[in-house]
Structure formats: structure tokens, C-alpha cells
Chains A and B, each alone.
Chain A
């Protein structure tokens, strides 16, 4: 049982004009076995939340805390966070020329597990995980994200998720740029991971359509750098029919 605990998190992006505050007091607990959907309009800061949890150097935390099972995540380097059990499925996965998917996955798995997986079981593990995501085995020979279609990039992210088996997964707009078929396959891949590991998940999305495939336990509305409303799955239905208007219009006195 693991818990990612985020309390009153404030963070700024470092720009050429100096720091600009984006997160303005985010508080949320994500425990094993629960899936939290964080939904918000463009520019609300929800992707920044994902990056800050993963430790992207572009952002600086000015206030608040993030802990994983009591350990201070903010004191950890990016790779230490990953080895501690956090995983960010990225919205824009990065191309790494000259590094094959197979090399990359094995190097990652070795780092996260603390020892190199045995070759024979590893091959089978990879083959099975790729099978769930309906990926051609030849995919492993390609360079990481180089020339991947949008769908291939997202499948590759979920493939990593299923091999690295984090305690807490953060999915940043994994549904963006996917057609219906790809969205279904990616969602099934995620659901298989969740069922197998019982990991906690922070699912960041702009649209409700991914929630038809991935059932959330909690839905949070994100606006202006913080969570403005929380509820159960029914909140997604409200957002579906009414949009974000109701949550982002300032209350009139």
C-alpha cells in the first residue's frame, strides 16, 4: 500500500523573464488501488503538476510538499523518483536517436529493479507486454520515439508503465492525439497494468472520453493552478454535459 501525498503545492516555471507561478496550492492524496482523474481546461496547470511530481528541471517548487510513503519526493533527483516508484507517462515523449526501444527498456528496467532482469524471462515479459498493446515485435528494434506516430508513442509509454510497474502512475494527457482504436488499446493496456499491480493513478486529461475506458474513483476539476472541485465519477458526467464554464467563472458576490 503506497500513498503519494501532495500538500499545498506551489510551483513556478522558470522563464527568460523570471519565474512565473503556475501551481497555486495543490492538495491531493493518491493511494494504491485508486484512480484520480484530474480534469481541466488548457492552461490550467494540470500538466505542470505532472512535470513537478516527476521533477522536471524547468519548474521550481516554492511552497508545499510531495511525499511518497512518507519519503520527501522533492529531495529526490528525477531518476531517484522513478526508482522510488513514480512514473510519468508523458504527453510528448522525447526522441532519443541511436537508442533502441529494446536497449532503453532493458536499461530502465535494470535501473528501476536494481538488477538486470534475466534475459530469458525478460524477452518473454517484453513480448507479453507488447502483445497486450498489440505492438509488432519489430517495434523494439526502432529508436526511442523516433518517427513514431502519436499512437505508437502512447503505446510505448504504456509499455514502459507495464514493465516498470510503478507504485504510482501519472498519465499526462495520454488520450490526446489518439483515434478511437488506439485509445481503446492504450486504455486496455493501462487497465491490465492497474489490475495486475494495484497501483494508484493520477490521470490528467482535458477530455472525458478516456473515462469511458478507464473508470476513475475520483474526479477533480483543476483550474488556475489548483483543484477547485472534487467528486466521484458523476462529476465527469457533469463536465461532459456542461463543460468547464461553471467551475471557471468567478463567483459573483
Chain B
């Protein structure tokens, strides 16, 4: 049901290249691909001339246009899916928050695929001492691979949400879209900068979401949150890499998933590496999965590699469990029907992580969607929210 054993993290620097030929098509035995159903994603692992770009509407802080060399940023692809997107995408969706600017309202970016198969290049840059919230709403109606290259300037404070969910139009059919989504989300955090990034993954038949964090200077702080709800045979993989190479940085990773249904599979891999110079590091990662029935499978693999012992703290935790019958009994003993009791427990399971995503409005929106997926009465969800 749950795999905890894992090979140690490969501590050697990863190959980073923008050249397609540097990354052969994976065959499935590679550590980074071992869980993924490759037959369902292999069409996204080679270049297709008919593939489209991913665009967005331009707005105050968002520009959409051809990629130029200056868009390369701090990062280069580290695997086949990323490099295919890198060489295929012709349009960049760029979010630029100038230095010393505090943006009150969230900057919301609705990504739109221009074809049934599309590649994205998203570039998010927060200037020095700026503060903003950026929400990326993915297009779940297409097969998409892309890179969200994120840079937080020194002293900056960036909150981001990645929302992968069925569009409202798709709800009418009630069927999960059979879509593949392969994302890299590399974040570079400047000196004394703060990053809070949440991955909310509800849609997609095969999803790989790979957030990674590096610190460009000391004193940075990264909080990575995730909530995923998988059913009806969905495959949702979240693979996190946090690399501490600068001293006195903090990282905290919390991912929660609930899953149900025959053939449904979720994978969470959390790799944290503390390099020799990263003294005073404080890091903790946690994954909790709630199995709602017997058909689903959750793999949870926390990895922590320390190259120095001179750190403040380091820890990880992983737990995958079934419904707690005592909780159900307690709620039912107060007259609450079993179906509603289960909904309350699952919703409650997600509440703490969603409360931390940094946006009340999006917390509520995601809770709505989770309630909807759980088949909760809208009236009940309204009441629950009115009160919290």
C-alpha cells in the first residue's frame, strides 16, 4: 500500500541543459520515473510540430510574447519532460513584479492551451523587497507540459498557488478529463526572501508536478504546501526537491492527499538535501495521505540527506492511513449520517493545509471544489465556511 523504502538521493549536481539530446526518453526504471505510467505520457516526451503554445491574457503585471534569450532565467531543464517543453514552447507568460512593490490583490494568471497538446513557459519574477501573490490556474482541458521558472528577489515575499482543476464547463459532464499534465516548478529564493508555494491538484488523469527550491543566498525561507484529491483511476505525482546550499535557510514542506477508487494512485516524493555549507538549516517535510477505500494506492517517499551536521533542525514524516472509525462513530453518535460524517472528516483533513495557502479567497474556492468532489450538499459547505 505504501512504500517507504527508497534509494538515497543522488547528491551529484543534476544535469541541467536546454538541449533535447542531453536527455534520452526515459524507459521507466529511472528513479524519477519509476512510478509514472509512461505509456500514458510518452507522447509528451518527444517533440511534436503540431503542438501549441500556452498563453494567457496580458494584464498589469503579466506580459505574453515570444520567448527571447533573456527569458532563460536562472534555470535549465533537468529532465526529458522539461526539455521537451523548453524547446517546444514559443510563447512566454511572464509575471513581473518590480522591486519595492507591494501588490495587494492576487495576480491571477489563467493559462490557456492553444491546442490539444501544448507546452508552456511561465516566468515569474519578484523584484527585490517586493511582495505579491500569484495564482496560476492551469488549463486542464489539454495535455500540457511546462516549466514555471520562479525567482524571488532578495528580501522579497512571494506567495504562489498552482491550481490544477477541472474548468467549470467540464463539470457538467461529470467526467474527469483524460489529460496529461507534466510540470516543473523551479524556484530560486534570494537572500532573506520568503516563498510560499501551494500545489492544488484535483484534475488530470496523469499529473507530475515537480516543485524544486534552491536558495541564492542566506536567510531564505520556503514553505511548500500541497493538497491533492484523486479518484476514478487518476495518477497524481508530486515530487519535491529542496536543495539547501546557502546557510541559515528554512524549508517546510506539507502535502496532504485523499484518494479513492480502483486503480487510483498518488505518489509523493520529498527530497531534501542539505549541502556542506548550509549551516544553520532548518527543514521539515511531511506527507499525509487518507485512503478513502481499498482500491486506491498511495506511495510516500520522504528523503533527507545531510552533508553537514551543523544545522538547526531536520525532520520528516509520512503517514498513510484509512478512515478513522472512531471519528466516524463519534460524528454518527451525534446524529450525523455516515455519508456526511465522511465528508466532514475529509474536508477537515485538508483544512489546516488550505488555511495556510496565503489566500482566504482561494482557500474557500478549493474547499468548494473538494466539497463538490465529495458530493457534499452545497448548503452544508456554505454553513461550514460561514463559520471558519
Contact = CB atoms under 8 A, between A and B. Distances in A.
B348 A111 contact: no
Nearest to A94: B330
Interface residues on B, range: 20 to 34
A78 B352 contact: no
Contacts of A98: 347-352
A94 B388 contact: no
Interface string A75-107: 001110111000110100111111110111011
Contact of B335 (A94, A103, A111, A143): A111
Nearest to B328: A78
Interface string B212-224: 0000000000000
Given A96-B348, A97-B352, A99-B344, A82 B335 contact: yes
Interface residues of A, number: 35
A160 interface: yes
A202 to B, nearest CB: 15
Which of A55, A82, A90 counts the most chain B CB atoms within 10 A?
A: A82
Contacts of A141: 388
Nearest to A140: B387
Interface in A38-57: 54-57
Contacts of A82: 332-336
B341 to A, nearest CB: 8
Contact of A79 (B327, B338, B384): B338
A164 interface: yes
Contact of B336 (A97, A102, A107, A116): A107
A2 interface: no
Contacts of B336: 79, 82, 107-108, 111
Given A90-B330, A96-B330, A96-B345, A107 B337 contact: no
A100 B386 CA distance: 12
A77 B332 contact: yes
Contacts of A143: 348
A60 B347 CA distance: 31
A166 to B, nearest CB: 9
B72 interface: no
A242 to B, nearest CB: 35
A111 B337 contact: yes
A54 B335 CA distance: 11
A84 to B, nearest CB: 9
B333 A107 contact: no
B61 interface: no
B384 to A, nearest CB: 5
A221 B79 CA distance: 72
B361 interface: no
A66 to B, nearest CB: 15
Given A79-B337, A108-B335, A99 B348 contact: yes
Given A103-B383, A107-B383, 5 more contacts: A78-B332, A79-B335, A88-B333, A95-B327, A108-B335
Interface of B: 324-327, 329-338, 340-341, 344-345, 347-352, 379-380, 383-384, 387-388
16 contacts: A55-B333, A56-B329, A57-B329, A78-B329, A96-B348, A97-B351, A98-B350, A99-B347, A99-B351, A103-B388, A104-B334, A104-B344, A106-B383, A108-B335, A112-B335, A164-B335
